[in-house]
Structure 1
Amino acid sequence: MPASAARAKVAAMPAARSRKTQGTQPPSFDFDESSLGALDAGDDAMLDAGRLDGVAYSGIARDTWQLESGATVEACRFDGLDLGTWALRGAHLVESVFAGANVPTVSAARGGWRDVELRDSRFGSVEAYDVAWRGIRFSRCKLGYVNLRGAELLDVAFVDCTIDEIDLLDASARRVAFDGARIGTLNAGGARLTDVDLRGADLSQVVGMEGLRGATISPEQLQLMAAALADLAGIVVE
Structure 2
Amino acid sequence: MAIRTKTARRGSGTQAPQFDFDESVLSDLPVGDPETFGSAPFEAVAYADVIRETWQLEVGDTVEVCRFQGLGVGTWTLRGAHLTESVIAGADIPAVSGARSDWRDVEVRDSRFGSFEAYDASWRGIRFTRCKLGYVNLRAAQLLDVAFIDSTIDEIDLLDAAARRVTFESTRIGTVNASGARLTDVDLRGADIAQVVGLEGLRGATISSEQLQLMAPALADLAGIRVDD
Bin the TM-score by the shorter chain: over 0.9
Supply the AA of the counterpart residue of 2:51.
Answer: A
Supply the AA of the counterpart residue of 2:40.
Answer: G
- Structure (1 or 2) with the larger CA radius of gyration: 1
| Counterparts of residues 188-227 of structure 1 (less than 5 Å) | 188-227=178-217
Asked if 1:49 is matched to 2:39, the reply is yes
Give the whole-Å Cα distance in 2 for the aligned partners of 1:48 and 1:103: 16
| Counterparts of residues 86-105 of structure 1 (less than 5 Å) | 86-105=76-95
Structure with greater helix share of residues: 1
Contact 2:38 2:55 in 1 (8 A): no
Give the whole-Å Cα distance in 1 for the aligned partners of 2:14 and 2:117: 28
Structure 2 segments unaligned to the other structure (5+ residues): 1-10
Q: SS of 1:144's equivalent? A: strand
Q: Find the counterpart in structure 2 of residue 185 from structure 1.
A: 175
Give the whole-Å Cα distance in 2 for the aligned partners of 1:62 and 1:46: 11
Contact 1:183 1:202 in 2 (8 A): yes
Supply the AA of the counterpart residue of 1:208.
Answer: G
Asked if 1:164 is matched to 2:154, the reply is yes
| Counterparts of residues 17-56 of structure 1 (less than 5 Å) | 22-56=12-46
Q: CA RMSD in A?
A: 0.9
Output one character per residue of 1:39-88: Cα deviation in whole Å (capped at 9) or x when no partner: 01011244232330000100000100000110000000000000100011
Give the whole-Å Cα distance in 2 for the aligned partners of 1:87 and 1:48: 12
Q: Find the counterpart in structure 1 of residue 132 from structure 2.
A: 142
Asked if 1:232 is matched to 2:222, the reply is yes
Q: TM-score, normalization: structure 2?
A: 0.93
Supply the AA of the counterpart residue of 1:155.
Answer: D
Give the whole-Å Cα distance in 2 for the aligned partners of 1:45 and 1:122: 23
How far apart are 1:32 and its partner, in Å? 1.5
**Runs of 4+ deviating beyond 6 Å:** none
Contact 1:43 1:60 in 2 (8 A): no
Give the whole-Å Cα distance in 1 for the aligned partners of 2:84 and 2:127: 12
Give the whole-Å Cα distance in 1 for the aligned partners of 2:171 and 2:38: 35
Higher relative contact order (CA 8 A, sep 6+): 2
Give the whole-Å Cα distance in 1 for the aligned partners of 2:42 and 2:25: 17
Supply the AA of the counterpart residue of 1:227.
Answer: P
